[in-house]
A = this chain, B = another copy of it.
């Protein structure tokens, strides 16, 4: 069997075991067994548990980024880009629940070499959403002064939206009973986020002072 195929089987097995047991408790014995390979071969190909974990995180992060990027047409309107990006994100995380568990939880708190990869994935998602929000604000600017968003506000909103998407992906994947489809999950978020953004753009804000 070619090394490439073998390595893929090892990474598949490792993602499953890391997701189920967590990084610390995952054993190379279990990973090798699940991959149908000998433990020495796993070490020969992937060097150490740390490096194997890093390779898993890198592969899963790249696959998620590729799915989201492929779904976004650069010439579409800002809300279409957000909608298709969110649908692709939730479709991918639903189809790769173990990969998402590793990326969203394990990767962040287990140091080098995984944590910087997880950080970079998050940076990319936040950057993408920040640009979408800025584009939306720009489309609406000129109407009235309140339409323009301060840079730090766009960045804050992007972090809020990405955090919301991450949380929803985990929720959808761990629900028992009726599991919402990726499309439904994306629509839930889109309904709140987009309508809220459109209102912000139009200068309509929630103000505590206006309440009795």
Contact = CB atoms under 8 A, between A and B. Distances in A.
A41 interface: no
A199 to B, nearest CB: 4
Contacts of A191: 196, 199-200, 205-206
A76 B42 CA distance: 60
A152 interface: yes
A168 B156 contact: yes
User: Most B CB atoms within 10 A — which of A80, A160, A165, A170?
Assistant: A160
A15 to B, nearest CB: 15
A108 interface: yes
Interface string A159-201: 1111111111011100100101000010111111111110110
B160 A168 contact: yes
Interface of A: 22-25, 77, 79-80, 83, 105-106, 108-111, 152-153, 155-157, 159-168, 170-172, 175, 178, 180, 185, 187-197, 199-200, 204-206, 208, 211
